[in-house]
Each structure stands twice: as C-alpha cells, then as structure tokens.
Amino acid sequence: MINELLPPKRILMGPGPSDVHPHVLKAMSTPLVGHLDPAFLTIMDETMELLRQVYQTKNKATMAMSGTGSAGMETVFANLLEPGDQALIGVNGLFGQRMADVAERCGAKVIQVQAPWGEIIQPQQIKEVLSQHKQIKLVAIVHAETSTGVCQPLREISSIAHDHGALFVCDMVTSLGGCPTEIDSIGVDAAYSGTQKCLSAPPGLSPVTFGSRALEAMDKRNTKVQSWYLDLSMIQAYWSEASERFYHHTAPITMIYSLREALRLIADEGIDHVHARHALYGGALQAGLEAMGLKLLVEPAHRLPQLTCVYIPEGVDDLAVRQRLLHKYSLEIGGGLGVFKGKVWRIGLMGYNARQENVTYLLAALEDVLREENGRIQEGAALAAAGQWLKKEAACR
Ligand SMILES: *Cc1c(COP(=O)(O)O)cnc(C)c1O
C-alpha cells in the first residue's frame, strides 16, 4: 500500500521554487474546462492582459509558453536566431552560460562577453564587441542572475544594442514580479520568465513577451523555426485575441489558472508596491545577515533584493547547515552554483515570501543553526539590524 500523498510543509527560501501563494493553490483546485472552451479563452485573454501589466509592456505578443523558464529561453533564441546568425551573450553566471549554450544549439555563432561571477557586465564591453562585429543580430543578457544575486542594469546596454541595429533580449526569470522590468521604457525586444520565482506560482509556465522589432525579425526568417513545439508564430494563433483560435497543443489549463491568479494578486497589490516590498524586506534581510557578521557576495549597488548570495563562514560545513535548516526548521535555502559551489548560500525572498515574518524566521533559524555548527558569528544582532533598517526606510518614505 502506498499512502495518500502528503508532502512536508516547507518554507522555500532558496533560488526557486518559492512558496506558492495560498490563493494560487486554491485557484489550482478549481474544475478543469476544455482548452478551447469560451470560458477558458476569456481566462487566457485576462492572463495576457495581466502579464502585460506585470511585464510593464503594451506588446501584443505577450503569452505563456508551456514549460519552465528554460523553455522560455529556448523560445526566444529558437525564434529569433537562424543558423549562421551572430549573437552576443553576456556571461557572468550560470544562466548566461545556459543562454550561450542554447543560442549555439540554434546554430548561431555566439560571442561571449564575460564578467566575473558576482559582478555586472559593463556596457563598454558590449560596445567594443559590437563595433568589431557589425553583423551581430542579437544582444542577450540576464537581468537578475540567480546564480549570484546580481541585478544587471539594462538601459545603457539596450541603447547600445539598438544603435548597432541589434535586438536586445533579456532573461527575466527572477526579475519579473520582483523588480521593475520596464520592457517598453527600456526597449527590451524580447524577454522570458518563469512562474516559480517572484510570481509565487508553481514551476510549469514561461511567460514571454516579444516587441515589434523581434516580430519583424521573425517575419524575415529564411528557415522554419527548428522546434515545432516552441514556434511562436503557431503559438500566437492560439493565444491571439481573434475569435478563431487554432489548436496547437493542449494548454496546461491548471497552470494557466495558477498564473492568472498569481498575476491578479500582483496587479491587485499594485506593481510598484510589489517591487517596493521586495526592496524593503530584501534590504532588511541583507542588513540582518551583515549584522550577524556574514559577508555578502555582491556590492550594494547591484544587489537583488529577491536573491541574496552570502559567503559561508570559515570552517562551517555547507551541507550540514542546509540539512539542519531543513530538518529543524523545514526551511530550504540554496547552495552555490559553479565557481561558488560550497562557497555561498543563496537566499530567496521572492513574491509572497517577501514579508516580515520570512525575514525574521530566516535570520533567527540561520543564527541558531550556525551556532550549533560552530560558525563564528555575532549573536543577537541580526533581528535588531533588520528592524533598524525597516525603521530607517519607513522614515524615508
Ligand atoms: C530559474 C532560472 C532559469 C531557468 O528556469 P527553469 O524554470 O529552471 O527552467 C533561467 N534563468 C534564470 C535567471 C533563472 O533564475
């Protein structure tokens, strides 16, 4: 006999998935309708409208791909690149590396512009490469690099790319719903995201948005998009606002319910308020960690509020701490990736979790576990520092 499914109740404060909002879970237990039911088509229209609001764009081609964030990555590169095209990719972490890999698999000639993990890509680096290679079709960069906690400034790189006639593409998997994405204002031509980071829905959908320049580039293709499943021209016929919609593949109905509810909650709170809430509690968490005597990876000007990388203190066992947090507090944080494996922890404060109680819980639990694991830390200072930070912020508002 196998018992009824009863997973443990965790608090997910790693790099994603993050905790799902209870209203989203509730929406997911509502009845299924057919994927061409008029009621469902209305739900899709509403989802698209909400997605535009949260992405901060008027792009008509804004929809959810079936699959996780990486499916969105594949969608963008498979639709915009043809074999032989040149693409410039900024690589300062794991997800930049993945973009380069995906673009190469599309047959593109990839030129990487690198920065050390934990630092931003400098606009000047992009400018130099673009002036040496006149044929570059697309410049891609990760907005919120979840492997390091770096927030990449986009505006200057966007105008440099456009000055050279290239498309500007962004990975917004961890930024959407956590910090401003400003697609139209910055001039991002195509972007993709995921549902399980700051949107507080489960993994399974990848919201994408394509602007007019990107759609033009797709119209000018000489070859078919290699992937049938991710060919945007066909997906668009299903997600369009036209009365006649064509079956492409069966939409994951329940996941679209979850996305609609997650976006509705964000729109209801107000997108600016949601961003400010992340900045507020992310800052409080970081102040608390530093007061504990821990060192943060990223310099203050480029820190993401929703994902913080903190160095593991000398002599402390990475896995022992994370296991103890999980067993004693049912609290999940992430380990380091790539060059930072075993060197940092990654702490997420995403979406629904960007709240006072999560800040307090994490700081208290981590302090307790570090004490048990003989980490040399400043005891009893973290919560006061987080409180001080919030008080100071409140006074500025
Ligand atoms: C999580 C993540 C991805 C990949 O998304 P999956 O949902 O794991 O496929 C891509 N880019 C960034 C920046 C991410 O944080």
For the segment 167-192, what is each residue's pLDDT rounded down to a tens digit?
999 999 999 999 999 999 999 999 99
Q: How many CB atoms lie within 10 A of CB 242?
A: 10
Q: Is the CB of 69 under 6 A from ligand 1?
A: yes
Pocket test for ligand 1, best of 146, 199, 304, 346 (most atoms within 8 A of CB): 146
pLDDT at 79 over 80: yes
Rounded mean pLDDT of 277-303?
98
What pLDDT is stored for residue 336 in this prediction? Answer: 98
Least confident of 36-45, 73-82, 173-182: 36-45
Tell me the fold of 22-268: Aspartate Aminotransferase; domain 2 (3.40.640)
Q: Is the CB of 142 under 6 A from ligand 1?
A: yes
H helices present in 304-381, as ranges: 318-329, 356-372
Going by alpha carbons, the residue nearest to atom 12 of ligand 1 is: 173
Domain ranges of the chain: 22-268, 271-396
Q: Percentage of the chain surpassing pLDDT 90?
A: 95
Rounded mean pLDDT of 4-33?
97
pLDDT at 241 over 80: no
Does the pTM surpass 0.95? The reply is yes
Strands of 92-236 (E only): list them: 109-114, 136-142, 144-145, 150-151, 167-171, 190-192, 205-210
Return the CATH superfamily for domain 271-396.
Aspartate Aminotransferase, domain 1 (3.90.1150.10)
Ligand 1 geometric centre to CA of 173 (Å): 6
Ligand 1 geometric centre to CA of 60 (Å): 24
Q: What is the pLDDT of residues 314-340, one digit of tens each?
A: 999 999 999 999 999 999 999 999 999
- Mean per-residue pLDDT of the chain: 97
Pocket test for ligand 1, best of 97, 152, 174 (most atoms within 8 A of CB): 174
What pLDDT is stored for residue 242 in this prediction? Answer: 67
Rounded mean pLDDT of 207-215?
98
What pLDDT is stored for residue 394 in this prediction? Answer: 87
H/E element, 287:
helix 271-291
Ligand 1 geometric centre to CA of 392 (Å): 34
Residue 300 has what DSSP assignment?
A: G
Pocket test for ligand 1, best of 12, 18, 68 (most atoms within 8 A of CB): 68
Same fold across 22-268 and 271-396: no
Q: Is the CB of 202 under 6 A from ligand 1?
A: no
pLDDT at 69 over 70: yes
Q: Percentage of the chain surpassing pLDDT 70?
A: 99
Q: What is the pLDDT of residues 105-163, one digit of tens each?
A: 999 999 999 999 999 999 999 999 999 999 999 999 999 999 999 999 999 999 999 99
What pLDDT is stored for residue 222 in this prediction? Answer: 97
Going by alpha carbons, the residue nearest to atom 14 of ligand 1 is: 173
**Angle (deg, nearest 10), helices 271-291 and 356-372:** 20
Rounded mean pLDDT of 72-96?
98
Tokens of 25: 């879970």
pLDDT at 80 over 80: yes
